[in-house]
Structure 1
Amino acid sequence: DLRRITSGETVRSETERLHKDGHRVQVERSIAAIHDVTQEYSGFVATYSDISARKASEAHIQTLLQEVNHRSKNLIAVVQVIARQTARMYEGSEFFSSFSKRLASLTSNQDTLLNSRGNQADLETLARSQFAHLVTPEDPRITVSGPAVQMNEATSQAIGMALFELATNAAKYGGLSKDTGSVTLSWVVAPGPDPKLEISWVESGGPPVSAPERMGFGSQVTGPILQGITSGETQREFHPDGFRWFFRAPLAKMTE
């Protein structure tokens, strides 16, 4: 470094120094030569600039890039699952229509997360965004109620997709397929040493319902897939008054 300095180059490096109040500060050190009146090298001067704010900004940007990379990989994996499972049920234009709607549902989940400016989404906002794909927000047939619950990214995606599948089936075959039908979506947080989030979906006023002969993608999303992500339990009831679905899972698992 001395040779570079004496040749006229300013040598810069980053290091840490101890502030007078005791905390460590990230600084940039610049060393430049000093020349006398005859332009002969006579020494050097070192200056230190506090770059803590810049380094913090760089670290924040790196964290954001890692988060984008992580989310992108997760989304690609989810899209692949949706495409594969939808292809098993539909072909041609039916596949395109169903696949597009499910992607729109996934997009709504991401919008809810981004609008919250964090990695959590509000359950009520998420639920209403899924209904919005099928009915108007003011539709009197739909009732949504429950306390404020913030869910992490994985849970938001899983519950959002489950609610979309439930709403789609209700619009096609259940409580939202008739003007006289209704859907009531509600949830509570059951207290205790390990609080549980309990969600209920109750349809009424629609045509008679019966258990499907096979488990399609919707049944997997509202059952095994959701259970695996949340460590929860689901239950389906094909009641004479309408389809009912119940979900129960540890709250901590969904919010951490």
Structure 2
Amino acid sequence: MNGVFIESELDWVLILAPFRKDADYIMALLGEQKVEVKAGRTDDDVTHLLSLSPGVIIIAHEALNPSVLASIGEHLASQPDWSEVPILILLERAAPISRIRSRLERSWPGARLLFHIRPIARLELMNSIQSNLLVRLRQRQVRNAIERERELRLELNHRIKNILASVSSIFRMTRRGATTVDELAGDFTGRLQALSSVHTAVFEANGEDVSLSSMVELTVSPYNSKGLNRIRARGPNISISRDAATTIALCLHELITNAIKYGALSQDDGVVDIVWAVSEENEPVVSLQWTEAGGPDVVEPTRQGYGTRYIRSALASVFGSVPEIAFAPSGFRCSVAGPLSRLSTK
């Protein structure tokens, strides 16, 4: 087996021409055009080279023996729907073209066959090869588009299922804590807004990662209206996964809701600080703190409500450690820390 290998955007060409000098001539011609080409001299060569999926096959009349016909037939039959391998047949002028065509069409039903009479002009041969290489390029582009569309549809289906599962969980969580229909509607709408904010941030980030700063800003911005900045957020710009962002956003909304009802945000002068940081130890560790000030005196509840249980469980699942929750007299606090690798997709 002889060959010339030159990297190209186009497919490579397989030449089956055991006699004369057709193979050498075409290999030299394609080498000048920087097209990869391989020549099969024996039946074993043909079987091996077909397994490497050539883009175009050039075969001389004298190479059309039963073994080659069978090997190429099996190769063509195994092609996916998008693939139609062009086959250029080089014939002698005195060859019975009609009979050969009929024979090949029976052996290779539906094949893309192109016949050339030898001697063939250099320009004619090159134009035929190049045009069929471009056909293969377009076929691959169609294949890539089909595969990408399939991936997008699977991804869309997966995301829709996740969103619906999140909405269902939010509703169950809200229903357990609501005492009136109006309270249910208000809390449920707010939690959906928190979820929507995260998906907005993910969409704008154009990927599976989202900026923690953007996610927090989108979550708290509805509560900082009319020039008031009662929820102050600060921290380094780090990227976290979509799932981690969704969970943190829902926990923040739960904390905000609680602060509005009972904590710092229930008073005109009350404020909340949301601070996160990354410490460099053996591995980067992310810490997140929620601190309230300026609200009414805090009294630790006699029993743990569903919201508190959710925050403990949800943040523990993201950070890998149970958050510390303190009902300090000066203001409610919640802090949690964990490896950055748990929050990131990288």
Normalised to the residue count of structure 1, the TM-score between the two structures is 0.81
Paired residue for 2:176?
88
Paired residue for 2:191?
102
State which of 235, 260, 269 in structure 2 corresponds to 1:180.
269
Find the residue that maps to 1:139 and give its secondary structure: coil
Q: Distance in 1 between matches of 2:201 and 2:155?
A: 16
State which of 282, 294, 299 in structure 2 corresponds to 1:193.
282
State which of 167, 189, 210 in structure 2 corresponds to 1:121.
210
Find the residue that maps to 1:133 and give its secondary structure: helix
Residue 67 in structure 1 maps to residue 155 in structure 2: yes
Paired residue for 1:140?
229
Distance change in 2, residues 1:62/1:143 (3 Å): same
* C-alpha displacement of 1:83: 1.4
Q: Distance in 1 between matches of 2:289 and 2:217?
A: 15
Q: Distance in 2 between matches of 1:240 and 1:188?
A: 25
- For these two proteins, the number of residue pairs brought into alignment is 236
Residue 29 in structure 1 maps to residue 85 in structure 2: yes
Unaligned ranges ≥5, structure 2 = 1-9, 14-34, 38-51, 56-82, 89-97, 102-112, 116-131
Residue 45 in structure 1 maps to residue 134 in structure 2: no
* C-alpha displacement of 1:30: 5.3
* C-alpha displacement of 1:149: 1.1
Normalised to the residue count of structure 2, the TM-score between the two structures is 0.61
* C-alpha displacement of 1:42: 6.3
Distance change in 2, residues 1:178/1:130 (3 Å): same
CA contact (8 A) 2:316 2:322 kept: yes
Q: Distance in 2 between matches of 1:245 and 1:120?
A: 25
Q: Distance in 2 between matches of 1:144 and 1:172?
A: 20
State which of 189, 204, 214 in structure 1 corresponds to 2:303.
214
Q: Distance in 2 between matches of 1:117 and 1:247?
A: 28
Q: Distance in 1 between matches of 2:163 and 2:54?
A: 39
Unaligned ranges ≥5, structure 1 = 1-15, 33-39
Paired residue for 1:241?
330
CA contact (8 A) 1:233 1:249 kept: no
Higher relative contact order (CA 8 A, sep 6+): 1
Give CA deviations for 1:74-120 in whole Å, capped at 9, x if unaligned.
12222221111222222423222221221111111111111111111
* C-alpha displacement of 1:191: 0.8
Amino-acid identity (%): 27
Find the residue that maps to 2:323 and give its secondary structure: strand
Q: Which structure's residues are more often strand, by fraction?
A: 1
Q: Distance in 2 between matches of 1:137 and 1:61?
A: 44
* C-alpha displacement of 1:73: 1.5
Paired residue for 1:151?
240
CA contact (8 A) 2:319 2:336 kept: no
Distance change in 2, residues 1:24/1:175 (3 Å): farther
Q: Distance in 1 between matches of 2:260 and 2:280?
A: 34
Find the residue that maps to 2:85 and give its secondary structure: strand
* C-alpha displacement of 1:138: 4.2
Residue 18 in structure 1 maps to residue 12 in structure 2: yes
Tell me which structure has the larger Cα radius of gyration: 2
